[in-house]
Amino acid sequence: MSRSSLFGSPLFLGFDHLEQMLDRVQKSSDGYPPYNIEQTGDQMLRISLAVAGFSMDDLQITQEDNQLVIRGRQKEEGEGRVFLHRGIAARQFQRAFVLAEHIEVEGAYLDNGLLHIDLRRPLPETKVRAIKIDQKGNGRTVVQS
């Protein structure tokens, strides 16, 4: 039995890798840490994650193919400390975002317990190409500019 697919239409050719990426992101997200995504300009976006208690050394941002992955891991500093109540989460996390092609990471900064990641979404270039049609089906396709 085949499962229904977001890209199951025969009109979407070569998009199976996107579906696999979406499955990975869905499995890795548990709601922590909370985040916002805002549009800060015509082609600018900002992801803000609430990372109170994390220092810059505790955070790592990587771009793996079309995935932006943010990881946080605090160092254990509990020696000699006795908590009567511990309500501030001090657990590690991994948050992943799927980026469209051509999205560029401009930079990141930590401010008042929020990790901000600025992204640029450049305007896509329109590409029009003429495809030559041969007389016989020789398996070749010639692209003309």
Give the residue from 121, 123, 125, 124 showing the smallest Cα distance to 44: 121
Burial class (CB in 10 A: 0-12, 13-18, 19+), 48: middle
Q: Say which CATH topology domain 31-123 has.
A: Immunoglobulin-like (2.60.40)
Tens of pLDDT along the chain (145 residues) come to 445 566 667 777 777 777 776 776 666 667 889 999 999 999 999 999 999 889 999 999 999 888 899 999 987 766 778 889 888 767 899 999 989 888 999 999 999 999 999 999 988 788 899 998 888 766 655 555 5
- Contact residues for 103 (Cβ-Cβ < 8 A; gap 6+): 45, 119, 120, 121
100-104 contacts: CB < 8 A, separation 24 or more? 100/66, 101/66, 103/45
Distances (CA, A) of 21 to 56, 63, 64: 27, 13, 11
